[in-house]
A and B are shown apart, each in its own frame.
Chain A
């Protein structure tokens, strides 16, 4: 990593360029002209957003978090991130966010800031960061905006960084490389059944969001002696398994139903990185063995997550990816050869092993001074390359918001999911971009 002195003249290094982290390496080859793996974090503020103040806050935030201020470039062997000056434009919000992303638009920045009324959203290309890093960026941006708009100084927090502080090198380290060990486990799995339907029009995407109070949801999960992630994952597996049972094709009925659950690796390592540092596990059931009751599914999900979400298992899992990255032949292969091969690999393998994704950002905590100005917080995944249903959830200020992203017709998964919550006595409020 090449470093230069920060513009402020202090001793803190600022990046000129960065190698992509281990998880990000697959995303540039996987993307197409109109599709890139993205996620969006948005917040509804207490008042309409002042765009001019937001632009200033964005400049300050990027000076504090320089690893976000970069463009994607092609080297001879690998892609890399190159430092960019300035800040991207603040764009108006749209009805179909993340339906496409072109890295050459938006002044070459790898994220977009949108605002409309009191809503403020940041959409990230996954190359730059993951959900945890994105949350830090959004909350730091809101913290700086609140400071400029209302003159309130928000105390520093895990996710709210002070824009007066200089950038820190540990915030843009590749923690995969730092913590990877020699022992690995294979990633081989059976292809899973995937819910499907008639594809929507190009660049159309369905977002259905359900807001539920966190307390009754937590209580419902506790009644089954499970966490919210375990409970919701089991519920999603049951819903997809029901759809699979109605399939005519025998081959489709024989496939397992699995849900991909991303895991934040920061829980296990003393890292402060704001770049990608998450892995995933794929709990599921073998539906060919017979019909599973909800309790049976939950037992399997709980035991799987308990056995797989351990430091050793996760380390072996991401060490496998790091070991692949370190293969000398692969490293020495020029990018123009590697690029199409990695794209082909992603297209053939990338989405095959899971029926859907459930990404739980967890409970986002912000200082009280900030919480006063933020009404709600949303976390949404952009559409997957293959037509797949994705579910995310984030809890903030006593409310948990589930967001479903889908690019095929038919809201069966969402309907069954939210109806199940209602049957459990949990009130659900629905919002959608479909009118």
Chain B
């Protein structure tokens, strides 16, 4: 039985100092072998970021420059002109980069579809405001849709389970090669009103070769082992 010489309170036998005043317990007759009860763990909650709130907050922050440019634009030209670019760009930035923060395990494909639509709408707005030559329908829209499809396919490849990484890489490289070819076709058709391939060969051919080699290797266990042995980091 120990007492604090400062407070006068009785303490547990194993206490080395008084919990009230931190005075050390000096008791020559103290039972040094007395076992204190097992220490209990302190619990800590898993602290997580409130993603929905974060998305909302970033959205509110983006509103500040938007409102500023709208007021300035209206004050100077009495109509909305260049502020529309800021409006469209901010919606694009929020949709493409901020909205997926609150994805929390959901599938990415609806987000890719929304992103494609928003980017297409931004380009449509720019085309409407400028009232220039017809570039939206034959050029911008196909490229945006093509990009959306390719990104979706890349996600599909990399989310598939049980497939070797080398095979996923092979399919991805082949897909990028096809994208480059399709891009060239679209641009050439817009520029010359005829289908044909020009610059894309230089990029697509090596990519296709690399992709096919990776796919071939991925189907051979021996080749895979050889690569693993010789190229590990």
- Residues on A lying within 8 angstroms of B by beta carbon are 33-34, 92-96, 99-100, 102, 116-117, 203-204, 208, 210, 411, 414-415, 418-419, 422-423, 427-435
Contact = CB atoms under 8 A, between A and B. Distances in A.
Contacts of A418: 7, 9, 20
B45 A430 contact: no
Given A432-B19, A435-B36, 8 more contacts: A92-B41, A95-B39, A204-B42, A411-B19, A411-B20, A415-B7, A418-B9, A419-B20
Nearest to B50: A33
B43 A208 contact: no
B31 interface: no
Interface in B141-169: none
B45 A102 contact: yes
B42 A203 contact: yes
A435 B45 CA distance: 22
Contacts of B44: 203
Contacts of B45: 34, 100, 102, 203
B37 interface: yes
Interface of B: 4, 7-12, 18-21, 36-45, 47, 50
A117 B37 CA distance: 9
B8 A422 contact: yes
A33 B46 CA distance: 11
Contacts of A117: 37-38
A318 to B, nearest CB: 33
A427 B10 contact: yes
- Give the 3 A-B CB pairs with smallest separation, nearest first: A432-B19, A422-B8, A415-B20
Contact of A94 (B4, B10, B20, B40): B40
A30 B9 CA distance: 38
A35 to B, nearest CB: 10
Contacts of B4: 430
Nearest to A413: B20
B109 to A, nearest CB: 29
27 contacts: A33-B50, A92-B41, A95-B41, A96-B42, A99-B42, A100-B43, A100-B45, A203-B42, A208-B19, A208-B20, A210-B9, A414-B20, A415-B21, A418-B7, A418-B9, A419-B7, A419-B8, A419-B9, A422-B7, A427-B10, A429-B10, A430-B11, A430-B20, A431-B12, A432-B19, A434-B19, A435-B39
